[in-house]
Amino acid sequence: MTQIFEPYNLGPLTLANRIVMAPLTRNRAAAGLVPSPHAAEYYAQRATAGLLIAEATQISPQAQGYQDTPGIYTSDQIAGWRVVTDAVHAKGGRIFLQLWHVGRVSHVDLQPGGAAPVAPSAIPAATKTFVNNTFTDTSMPRALDLEEIPAIVADFRQAAANAIAAGFDGVEVHGANGYLLDQFAKDGANHRTDAYGGSVENRARLMLEVGAAVAAEIGPERTGIRISPVSPANGVSSSDPQPQFDYIVDHLSKLGLVYLHVVEGATGGPRDVAPFDFAGLRRRFSGTYIANNGYDLDLATAHLAAGEADLIAFGRPFIANPDLVARLQSGAALNEINPATMYGGGAEGYSDYPTLSEA
Ligand code: 8OZ
């Protein structure tokens, strides 16, 4: 019954418990898209989680889709993240960085030279982004040339090396939520007729190439990946999520990645949005399975006890509860989240939520 609070071996790391802080976009990066000056305090406050997964972080200027999200492609950004990882490690925590390319979920005002965002195909995302301090339609994307794809794989690989240089314990490839790798995987966004489109194998190709490149760079034991097979997040759709993601997960397992992090259902929404055999995915993957989406302590306990997951990632509850682990363990009430301070701003609604003893 208490296994959620017991240690777990994640590859070479021993986690203090089976509670993971999911990556959470907070739009508080400072000039140069370095992490917020409050980020070290914010993450260190949450270091009692077994594993922290730091917010989605763009691998290149082209990979950015929202204002004030941090990067991991300049020396200043690496130095900024080093402050964060040192603060977390000083508290005995473990921290991975989520590596992100948004693909078509972007706006010309965020793109180098005002260029169109890139995508598998020139199909707009039908979703909004946050830019110029307002929610705005994403811009019409252009289809990537075949010749441009190796550079994107190389950017992921370099970003992984940069993350290790910044002191992270590992990285999570963002393959979920309608961003670039998910756009390639799902046929609503991918109408390509080359080696990266059409068949299940071809649509999986970019995600698997990125997984292989990152694992080759930093080791599969430090490489995780997040997927969201049935989520319609950011306007993606798939006619065949089960065979698509069965194939992807079979191959991710062969790469020996340390964990598979699955958004079960619609991201931040209903878990039963579409029929899908998540237990089957878990059986196909030989590493650690991290389950996410709408978990509370009861559901987490049930899924861990039934062997349906190894670790449970909590997202929104970690925003308002730096001591979420202690609160779950003692049965204490949770702080309420203030929606007005979720995206953008400073310390307010970020590093000033009280612990139980402070409240
Ligand atoms: C909320 C707002 C902006 C981005 C994701 C990185 O859904 C995000 C994100 C979430 O994975």
DSSP string, 70-104: -BSSSHHHHHHHHHHHHHHHHTT--EEEEEE--TT
Q: Is 145 helix (H, G, I), strand (E, B) or coil?
A: coil
Domain count, the chain: 1
| Residue 335 covered by a domain | no
In DSSP terms, 136 is beta-bridged to 129
* pLDDT category of residue 326 using cuts at 50, 70 and 90: very high
Distance (angstroms) between ligand 1 centre and the Cα of 79 equals 24
Catalytic choice (42, 179, 247, 289): 179
Overall average pLDDT of the 199-225 stretch: 99
Q: Whose CA is nearest to atom 9 of ligand 1?
A: 25
In a domain, 193, yes or no: yes
Residue nearest to ligand 1 atom 11, measured at CA: 177
- pTM summary value: 0.98
CB 53 within 8 A of CB 98: yes
Determine, yes or no, domain membership for 256: yes
Supply the pLDDT for residue 359.
81
Question: Hey, whose CA ends up nearest to atom 7 of ligand 1?
Answer: 177
Q: Is residue 260 part of a domain?
A: yes
Cβ pair 126, 235 in contact under 8 A? yes
The average confidence (pLDDT) of the chain is 98
Taking residue 9's Cβ as centre, other Cβ atoms within 10 Å add up to: 10
Would you say residue 205 has pLDDT above 70? yes
Would the pLDDT of 1 be above 70? Answer: no
Residue 27, domain member (yes or no): yes
Residue having the nearest C-alpha atom to atom 5 of ligand 1 = 177
Q: What is the pLDDT of residues 235-253, one digit of tens each?
A: 999 999 999 999 999 999 9
Is 179 annotated in the active site? yes
**Is residue 326 in a domain?**
no
pLDDT in tens, 65-78: 999 999 999 999 99
CATH code of the domain containing 166 = 3.20.20.70
Return the closest-CA partner of residue 301 out of 21, 10, 5: 5
**What's the CA gap between 264 and 118, in Å, rounded?**
27
pLDDT per position as a tens digit, 99-154:
999 999 999 999 999 999 999 999 999 999 999 999 999 999 999 999 999 999 99
Is position 337 within any domain?
no
Does the residue 356 lie in any domain?
no
Hey, which of 21, 24, 25 would you mutate to test ligand 1's pocket, going by the most ligand atoms within 8 Å of its Cβ? 25
pLDDT over 90 for what percent of the chain?
98
Ligand 1 centre to CA of 177 (Å) is: 7
pLDDT for position 270: 97
Question: Residue 105's domain spans which residues?
Answer: 3-319
Q: What's the average model confidence in pLDDT over 187-203?
A: 98
Q: Is the pLDDT of residue 32 over 60?
A: yes
User: Which two structure tokens, joined as six digits, stand for 296?
Assistant: 């509370």
- For residues 95, 314, 72, 8, the Cα torsion angle rounded to the nearest 10 degrees is 30
Helix (H) or strand (E) holding 160: helix 149-165
Percent of the chain with pLDDT over 70: 99
| Dihedrals phi, psi of 40, to nearest 5 degrees | -65, -45
Q: Does residue 2 carry a pLDDT above 90? A: no
- Quick one: CA dihedral 128, 133, 141, 103, positive or negative? negative
CA 293 to chain centre: 12
pLDDT digit string, tens, across residues 159-174:
999 999 999 999 999 9
Asked whether the predicted pLDDT for residue 34 surpasses 90, the reply is yes
Q: pLDDT value at position 256?
A: 98
Q: How far is the CA of 330 from the centre of ligand 1 (A)?
A: 30
